[in-house]
Amino acid sequence: MNPSTAGNPLLDVEWEACLLQKGHDRDIEAFARKRIGMVPPYLPYLVHSPWVARAELIMNFGQGLLIHLGDDEAELAAMAASLDNACRYCYATFRFLMRLQGISETQLRERESRLREAAGSSPRESAMLQFVNRMSRSDPLVGSDDKQQLLDAGFTAAEIRELAFVVAYTLMANRTSTIPALSPEELEQLPDRWYMRLARPLAWKMTKRYLSRGQPLANPPSYEGPYAYLVKAFGDSPIAAALAMVLEEAWADTLLTRRSKALIFAVIARALDCSLSGEEARQLLRAEQFPDSEIDPVLSHLRSASLNATESLLLPFARKTVWYQPSQIQREAGQLSTHISQAEFVEVVGLVSLANALCRLSAAVVDH
Amino acid sequence: MPWLLLLASSFIILCLLAVYLPLRKQNRLLESRLAQSNRDLQHLQQSCARLAPGNVVDRLITGGPEATAERKEVTALFADLVGYTALSEQLEPSLLARILNGYFQHMSDAITANHGHISTFVGDGILAYFGALEPNPWQCDDAVRAALAMRAGLAAYNQELVAEGLPPLGLGVGLHYGPGLAGMVGSNERMEYAFVGRTVNLAARVESLTRLHKVDILITQAVREKIDPEVELKPMPATEVKGIEEPVITFAVLDWKESPA
């Protein structure tokens, strides 16, 4: 083990072998290059379901989505969420990015001990880290008390909304990397490779070119699809447009039926006890002519004669993605992947990740 | 004289190196120890997460054991080996320990595979909870699934025992759903994340009724109201149990009509 890599606190987290094969999609790769200047290492694994791959890029908060929350705070919050979720892949990515910025291994370790104890270098940072952990664990979902603590620590309402989005995006990314067990080893070793040490200043300069701050939208999206209330909650923020685009693409994809998607969202809302997302999912089920009398029995027992074979597999799996140990969910995902195609598997991973993110985000940004 | 200057500067450089190199070595050693302790702490936190919810661990660190207490609705499972006393008198201690360990392993696998959390092993008994570590709206279904998996696991284990010429084991399982106090309890010397209250006592009492009713899995009315109607049950006569005022209505779990999801 390299002496500096050894500082990574997640190295001992059990991790199964990757469940996905790499794929190619020229359009998505071109989209990635345009947006972040490169094809990120996770992308080839996700292209089997194009909307999932695109969602990761569209919701990346570093690319023009944040207007109020500082980049440093957003990065720290994302790193804290990844640590709390024990996502070796995302955590290695953030560690790599920080090393790229010239942060030394010693500084990084000092930052990591603050993250672990949710004790920031200021009352504002401490409040932020506590909020991140609360939203990540969601036991129960964050509420007005949590937001009040952020307000007391000096956050504005707009900053809180953006912080909640950053955490939600990270929780989604954590799941899209952890569930299919994307291999973190290469990323974990990368900061210490001799060529990376040499190329560090240049690599950071190139990466920085693609990072940008957001601007209020002149025309907020007129999105009326699933979870429109969440899009509306972001008003003229560029986050509203990103959410609308991702939701539209997720629902337009025909690999899994809209009914199956709504069922997955409903199960996760029930696990998290999120009435807002749960009601939205119920309305989506009604729109798909799912019998009203069947909704409660299905959600109460995750099985029913009215479910098809794929749905009977997906619903018990979906609930397991709310709280998990990485190797445990990876083994469960491995079993599921033997029953469905690779494209369907990636779509399921994307859906459960998105549902987990949006339920938590709903509780954090919508007063209900 | 340039050679003298060179000699002096070489001497100074050597002196500096003599100071710097051990310091650097010590620094690296300290860094590596810090990294190791960071990883150990992370590992400890992850291990704790398997024993108690993450926010309970946080509250324990910041506010002490009293800060971890909260009211919860949980399903308690109490399981006991039937005929253990007779078995313990017949077998050698080492053989008995091997049989018991195999039994506990099969039962633990069945419980944890169904979202249960083993609180403690009490002699040959097992106390497990569903919905204690994290909110679980499907906790009663999970507990019944776990009990059925324990039944199947024991049947498989008994085949191994019988093949070795050893006596088969019997099992009694009691399930009850209800409120209680969850949190870190115990003495300064020994503390554990536990669920305390009538729910646990009643699960244990219901387990003891399995011998009376000659069945292996019994659930209370509270569990029955929550579980999948596809679970095949047989009502048992209401029975008085110690410490409970009203006679307790129980149901024997026969089977799950369709294979559980």
Residues of B in contact with A272 (CB under 8 A): 135
Q: What are the helix (H) ranges across B113-248?
A: 139-163, 198-213, 221-224
DSSP percent split of chain B into helix, strand, coil, nearest 5? 50, 25, 20
Kindly determine whether residue B53 and residue A112, on different chains, have CB atoms separated by under 8 Å.
no
- Tell me the average pLDDT of chain B: 86
Q: CA A51 to CA A58: how far, in whole Å? A: 10
CA distance A297 to chain B (A): 8
Going B198 to B201 to B207 to B212, the CA torsion angle's sign is: negative
With beta carbons less than 8 A apart as the criterion, state whether B97 and B147 touch.
Answer: no
ipTM: 0.88
Contacting B with CB below 8 Å, chain A residues are 3, 6-13, 84, 86, 105-106, 109, 112-113, 116-118, 133-134, 137, 139-140, 270-273, 300-303, 312, 315-316, 319, 322-323, 325
Q: Map tokens 């990540």 to a residue.
A: A136
Kindly determine whether residue A139 and residue B55, on different chains, have CB atoms separated by under 8 Å.
yes
Q: CA B64 to CA A256: how far, in whole Å? A: 48
Per-residue confidence (pLDDT) for residue B192, from 0 to 100: 80
> Chain A within 8 Å of B63 (Cβ-Cβ)?
no
User: Which residue does chain B place closest to A117, by CA atoms?
Assistant: B58
Kindly determine whether residue A12 and residue B42, on different chains, have CB atoms separated by under 8 Å.
yes
Give the best residue of A2, A135, A139 to mutate against chain B (max B CB count within 10 A). Answer: A139
Per-residue pLDDT of chain A (368 residues; tens, 9 = 90+): 454 566 788 888 999 999 999 999 999 999 999 999 999 999 999 999 999 999 999 999 999 999 999 999 999 999 999 999 999 999 999 999 888 888 888 888 888 888 877 777 899 999 999 999 999 999 889 999 999 999 999 999 999 999 999 999 999 999 999 999 999 999 998 888 888 888 888 888 888 888 999 999 999 999 999 999 999 999 999 999 999 999 999 999 999 999 999 999 999 999 999 999 999 999 999 999 999 999 999 999 999 988 999 999 999 999 999 999 999 999 999 999 999 999 999 999 999 999 999 999 999 999 76
Strand partners, B239: B248
Q: CA B38 to CA A108: how far, in whole Å? A: 12
Q: Among partner residues A109, A140, A301, which is closest to B228 by beta-carbon distance? A: A301
Q: CA B140 to CA B224: how far, in whole Å? A: 8
Position B93: which residue type?
A: P
Asked if the model's pLDDT at residue B63 lies above 80, the reply is no
What secondary structure letter does DSSP report for A359? H
Residues of B in contact with A109 (CB under 8 A): 31, 34-35, 38
Per-residue confidence (pLDDT) for residue B261, from 0 to 100: 46
Kindly determine whether residue A137 and residue B46, on different chains, have CB atoms separated by under 8 Å.
no
Kindly determine whether residue A116 and residue B45, on different chains, have CB atoms separated by under 8 Å.
yes
- Pairing of β B125-130 and β B70-82: antiparallel
Tokens read off for B156 = 């498989």
Kindly determine whether residue B39 and residue A13, on different chains, have CB atoms separated by under 8 Å.
no
> Chain A within 8 Å of B124 (Cβ-Cβ)?
no
Q: How many CB atoms lie within 10 A of CB B149?
A: 19
Tens-digit pLDDT profile for residues A98-111: 888 888 888 888 88
pTM: 0.87
Backbone phi and psi for residue B83, each to the nearest 5 degrees, phi listed first: 80, 20
- Of A5 and B203, the one with more pLDDT: B203
Burial B68-106 (b: 16+ CB within 10 A, else e): beeebbbbbbbbbbeebeebeeebeeeebeebbeebeeb
CA distance A338 to chain B (A): 16
With beta carbons less than 8 A apart as the criterion, state whether B192 and B186 touch.
Answer: yes
Q: Among partner residues A109, A117, A316, which is closest to B35 by beta-carbon distance? A: A109
Per-residue confidence (pLDDT) for residue A72, from 0 to 100: 92
Kindly determine whether residue A301 and residue B138, on different chains, have CB atoms separated by under 8 Å.
yes
Going A271 to A274 to A279 to A280, the CA torsion angle's sign is: negative
C-alpha distances (whole Å) from A71 to each of A103, A166, A202, A252, A328 are 15, 10, 20, 32, 33
- Of B88 and B2, the one with more pLDDT: B88
Q: A308 burial class (0-12, 13-18, 19+ CB within 10 angstroms)?
A: exposed
CA distance A8 to chain B (A): 7
> Chain A within 8 Å of B50 (Cβ-Cβ)?
yes
Give the pLDDT band (50/70/90) at residue B143.
Answer: very high
| Contacts with A149 (C-beta within 8 Å, 6 or more apart), sequence order | A127, A130, A131
Which H/E stretch holds residue B130?
A: strand B125-130
What secondary structure letter does DSSP report for B165? T
Residues of B in contact with A105 (CB under 8 A): 31
Residues of A in contact with B260 (CB under 8 A): 303
User: Which residue does chain A place closest to B137, by CA atoms?
Assistant: A271
Q: What are the helix (H) ranges across chain A?
A: 26-36, 43-46, 50-58, 71-84, 88-100, 105-117, 123-137, 144-152, 157-178, 185-189, 194-209, 228-233, 238-252, 258-272, 275-287, 292-301, 309-320, 326-337, 342-365
Give the pLDDT band (50/70/90) at residue B57.
Answer: low
> Chain A within 8 Å of B34 (Cβ-Cβ)?
yes
Tens-digit pLDDT profile for residues A177-219: 999 999 999 999 888 888 888 888 888 888 888 899 999 999 9
Per-residue confidence (pLDDT) for residue B238, from 0 to 100: 94
